[in-house]
């Protein structure tokens, strides 16, 4: 299955506040995995919002605002072009970012910022796999970093007590006179 999606996970805010800040509302409809626009409580304490074929959840202005008084991780995955990126924000500040653009080569990797300690083993592990096999393992680096921090990965099931952990969400149009 080819993926083209973006997801944002937030830790340190209640779900209703997250949804309000993202201008989203609950529909009450549930699904096993995220399709168009959905959110789920993760067992790790993070709340994740997944949006297909869009990068809106990766925009700096949005992440700066939503990360105030909490921590956020956003991830973009585009299988066709073998592009993956992840970014970490905390208290309104971008802390780190990782980008692999497969169109720039199998070993393309742009890293910026202060990475958590768990990043070193992830980076070295995928570099070793790449060297051993010649595949495009750098694509996995941003995705795996985001998973290690939040517990979410777009192509793995969410462990939950509910059979359908994702709730379908809808955008709330901004009210006239508000942002």
Query: Which string of DSSP letters, residue by residue, matches 7-37?
Result: EEEEESS-HHHHHHHTTEEEEEEEESS--SE
Q: How far apart are the first and last CA of the chain?
A: 37
**What are the pLDDT digits (tens) for 9-56?**
999 999 999 999 999 999 999 999 888 899 999 999 999 999 987 778
Q: How far, in Å, CA of 52 to CA of 108, rounded?
A: 24
Residue 95 phi/psi, 5-degree rounding, is -100, -40
More confident residue, 117 or 173: 117
| pLDDT value at 134 more than 90 | no
Q: What is the CA radius of gyration of the chain?
A: 16
Compute the average pLDDT of residues 136-149.
96
Higher pLDDT, 2 or 159: 159
Give the SS3 label for residue 152: coil
Greater model confidence, 2 or 143: 143
Whether pTM > 0.85 for this model: the answer is: yes
Instruction: Give pLDDT tens digits for 63-118.
Output: 999 999 999 999 999 988 999 999 999 999 999 999 999 999 999 999 999 999 99
Residue reference for tokens 């508000």: 178
- Compute how many other C-beta atoms are within 10 angstroms of the C-beta atom of residue 164: 15
């Amino acid at each position: 299955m080819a993926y083209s999606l973006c997801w944002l996970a937030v830790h340190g805010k209640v779900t209703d506040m997250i949804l309000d800040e993202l201008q989203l509302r609950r529909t009450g409809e549930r699904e096993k995995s995220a399709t168009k626009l959905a959110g789920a409580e993760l067992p790790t304490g993070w709340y994740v919002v997944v949006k297909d074929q869009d990068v809106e959840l990766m925009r700096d202005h949005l992440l700066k605002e939503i990360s105030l008084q909490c921590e956020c991780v956003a991830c973009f995955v585009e299988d066709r072009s073998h592009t993956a990126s992840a970014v970490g924000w905390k208290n309104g500040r971008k802390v780190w970012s990782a980008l692999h653009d497969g169109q720039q080569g199998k070993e393309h990797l742009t890293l910026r910022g202060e990475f958590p300690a768990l990043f070193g083993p992830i980076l070295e592990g995928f570099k070793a796999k790449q060297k051993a096999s010649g595949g495009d393992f750098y694509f996995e680096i941003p995705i795996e970093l985001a998973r290690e921090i939040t517990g979410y990965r777009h192509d793995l099931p969410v462990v939950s007590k509910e059979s359908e952990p994702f709730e379908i969400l809808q955008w709330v149009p901004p009210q006239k006179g508000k942002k």
